A and B are shown apart, each in its own frame.
Chain A
Amino acid sequence: MSVDMSLRIAGVKWKNPVTVASGTFGSGMEFADFVDLNTLGAVTTKGVASKPWAGNDTIRVAETASGMLNAIGLQNPGIDTFLERDLVFLEKYDTVKIVNIVGKSIEEYVDVAKQLNDTSVDMLEVNISCPNVKEGGIAFGQDPSAAAEVTKAVKEVTDKPVIMKLSPNVTSIAVMAKAVEEAGADAISLINTLTGMKIDINRRDFVLANKTGGLSGPAIKPVAVRMVYEASHAVEIPVIGMGGIASGADAIEFLLAGASAVSVGTANFKNPCVTAEIIKDINDYLERNGFESVRDIIGIV
């Protein structure tokens, strides 16, 4: 490999710009049969709360044209199990460990962040954008001052770089991005899912038990590219781009739009080996086009 795929996000060195989107990859365990986790730039875990969360009723998932809706409701086993089981598993791999944290109140975000501070975790991603839980999640993600408040509170208790994960379900992504940057965020990641709905015309009822769910997959990619472009022009901190990335070409689009790194989400369901293919394809593109480093294409359009 003559191309330099490495980069730094908030001071943390990644071997390449590819991670996975929270919630689509567990803590990596379920994908270890398909992907050598050592080859990923980072693994981003499913959201972790201070206590176990049961999530929503089923049906939780539905396919849509070039996309899917989910309303899992942030089911997770809680921080204790995460530390004892998931983190111990991830420590076996040479990859950046990003833990996505969730809370129903600022105190809960702070509690999880504190418990992760003296661990091997490399970065925190704060989820203020889940559309599927009533309290927490999106409640902090649609109001710039609430988003800033969570950012400040988490930054105060952690030494780890903090990535704020933003929702696309806002009027101005630039305003949200600036709000969390000013509050001390080290990076931002976007987009989380777009709120959607699917109705079963034969049952004449909502498909999802939660009625609404988060839309992901290639269907949302143009929206995501536009928002990554807008956000990266609004702030100085790095942007991790995601939303419908299913190929190397998709990932390159995000990098050109201004993302310093990318996350692959729903595409892992279509092809559990897709992350490795995307890393290879980015490398090949750079080589073919005479770029020495992946850093040379970030935000150049």
Chain B
Amino acid sequence: MIYREKVSVIGNIQLTDDIFDLNVKTKDIAKAVIPGQFINLYSSDESRLLPRPISVCEATGDTVRLVYRVVGEGTKEFSTLKSGDEIFVTGPVGNGYDVAFINDNFKSAVLFGGGAGIPPMIELAKRLTIETNVFLGYRDVLFLNEDFPESATVHIATEDGSCGTKGNVMDALAQSKITPEIICACGPMPMLRAIKKYAQENNIKAYFSLEERMACGVGACLGCVCKTVKTDEHSKVENARVCVDGPVFDAEEVKI
């Protein structure tokens, strides 16, 4: 079930130059969230037609926390939302991570988050009951690194070396000497490609949350597909909808 709700803003604070932290009070959405799912936010400007899909960072009680990067006019509008403002949303959308499968079949998990791909890793880390190591990749300024649950060990990589390992999340993984049993990752495509290569070479199960330009955001328009290895069950071609068949995919099943 995807709900459409007019939600009220509880808070919207700036974390870095371009990263904002929006909390909204929902009726049904927060309770239904699975980590890795996203919410569509609708602009109040009639000239902006398409919803902006934003991954859920945390769902607590009836509150959904959305941490997003300002990349265009739509997200710029959201960055100006104030407590008490109301906004239309639909959600939660997508499959999300299979938390029970991960908890039941593995002793430890490694999560990777790169830049704007970091937020969904928080809710996932909160729900994992197994040993969890989180690798976060930043250009320079850190955000959300202190918001992970105590049960998760956070490792940091920065491109400029200002904090943690100088380099990317793979460099930080190498430095940690940790060998993942299962990987969950969200971030820019070069990071996901590097993780996929590493996972394949070491025979490690990996799941990715993918991003693609979306239009309807609910599975109808076929705008946001990714290429799949096998014929997709819904589309009957080698294409799956990122919005509702994903955004979480088995790394082996998608061509990235």
Chain A residues with CB under 8 Å of chain B are 23-26, 30-31, 33-34, 46, 52-55, 58-63, 65-68, 70, 72, 75, 77-78, 81, 217-218, 246, 266-273
CA of A217 to CA of B49, assembled, Å? 8
Expressed in whole angstroms, the Cα–Cα distance for A70 and B225 within the complex equals 13
Cross-chain pairs A/B with CB under 8 angstroms, 29 sampled: A23-B221, A24-B216, A24-B221, A25-B220, A26-B221, A33-B1, A33-B2, A34-B218, A46-B220, A55-B225, A58-B224, A58-B225, A60-B213, A61-B50, A61-B215, A67-B49, A70-B221, A75-B237, A77-B236, A218-B49, A246-B46, A266-B49, A269-B49, A269-B51, A269-B215, A269-B216, A270-B50, A271-B42, A271-B88
B24-52 contact mask (Cβ, 8 Å, vs A): 1 or 0: 00000000000000000010001111110
Which residues of B sit under 8 angstroms from A34, Cβ to Cβ? 2, 4, 90, 218
B223 CB within 8 Å of chain A? yes
CA distance A24 to B218 in the complex (A): 11
Cβ–Cβ < 8 Å partners of B1 in chain A: 33
Closest residue on chain B to residue A82 by CB atoms: B236
Say whether B219 faces chain A, with CB atoms less than 8 Å apart.
yes
Binding site secondary structure of chain A: loop
The CA of A272 and the CA of B3, in the complex, are separated in Å by 10
In the complex, whether B247 has a CB less than 8 A from a CB of chain A is no
Given A75-B235, A77-B236, A270-B42, CB of A66 within 8 Å of CB of B221: no
* B235 & A272 in contact (Cβ 8 Å cutoff): no
The yes or no answer to B62 lying at the interface (CB within 8 A) is no
For residue B224, which residues in chain A have a CB less than 8 angstroms away from its CB?
58, 60-61
The 0/1 profile, CB within 8 Å of A marked 1, for residues 221-232 of chain B is 111111000000
Is B212 in contact with chain A by the CB < 8 A criterion?
yes
Closest approach, in angstroms, between the C-beta of B50 and any C-beta of chain A?
A: 5
B33 to chain A, nearest CB (A): 16
Q: How far is the CB of A261 from chain B (nearest CB, A)?
A: 21
Please list the residues of chain B having a beta carbon within 8 angstroms of any beta carbon in chain A.
Answer: 1-4, 42, 46-51, 74, 88, 90, 212-226, 234-239, 244
Residues from chain B with a CB closer than 8 A to the CB of A31 are 218, 220
Please, how many angstroms separate the alpha-carbon atoms of A24 and B215 in the complex?
9
Query: Which residues of chain A are within 8 angstroms of B88 by Cβ–Cβ distance?
Result: 271
In the assembled complex, which residues on chain B have CB atoms less than 8 Å from the CB atom of A62?
213
Q: A59-B213, A269-B51 known; 8 other A-B pairs, CB under 8 Å?
A: A33-B3, A58-B223, A60-B224, A61-B50, A68-B49, A218-B47, A270-B50, A272-B216
| B50 neighbours in A (Cβ, 8 Å) | 61, 63, 68, 269-270
Question: In the bound complex, do residue B216 and residue A268 qualify as a contact, i.e. CB atoms below 8 Å apart?
Answer: yes
Q: Which of B42, B216, B234 has the most CB of A within 10 A?
A: B216
> Shortest CB–CB separation between residue A63 and chain B, in angstroms?
5
Q: Are B220 and A26 in contact (CB under 8 A)?
A: yes
Q: How far is the CB of A220 from chain B (nearest CB, A)?
A: 12
By a CB distance below 8 angstroms, the chain A residues around B216 are 24, 30, 268-269, 272
| A68–B235 touching, CB < 8 Å | no
Would you call A75 and B225 a contact (CB within 8 A)? yes
Q: Is the CB of A61 within 8 A of B47?
A: no
* Cβ contact within 8 Å between B222 and A72: yes
Task: Choose one: B214, B218, B237; the contact of A77 (CB below 8 Å).
Answer: B237
What separation, in Å, do the CA atoms of A25 and B238 have in the docked complex?
21
Are A72 and B223 in contact, with the CB atoms below 8 A?
Answer: yes
Q: How far is the CA of A86 from the CA of B144 in the complex (A)?
A: 43
Partner of B49, one of A30, A59, A63: A63
* B234 nearest in chain A by CB position: A77
Question: Are A63's CB and B48's CB within 8 A?
Answer: yes
> In the complex, are the beta carbons of B237 and A53 less than 8 A apart?
yes
The residue in chain B whose Cβ has the minimal distance to the Cβ of A54 is B237
B212, A58: Cβ atoms under 8 Å?
yes
Chain B residue contacts of A267, Cβ below 8 A: 49
Closest to B50 in A: A63
Distance in angstroms between the alpha carbons of A72 and B222 in the assembled complex: 7
Kindly identify which residue among A23, A55, A67 contacts B239, using a CB–CB cutoff of 8 Å.
A55
Docked CA distance A139–B175 (Å): 58
CA distance in complex: A89, B221 (Å):
18
CA–CA, A67 and B215, complex, Å: 11
Chain B residues near A46 (CB-CB < 8 A): 220, 222
Distance in Å: Cβ of B95 to nearest Cβ of chain A: 14
Chain B contacts for A270, CB-based, 8 A: 42, 49-51
B90 to chain A, nearest CB (A): 7
User: Which of chain B's residues have a CB closer than 8 A to the CB of A61?
Assistant: 50, 213-215, 221, 223-224
Q: Are B222 and A75 in contact (CB under 8 A)?
A: yes
Query: Which residues of A lie under 8 Å from residue B3 when comparing CB positions?
Result: 33
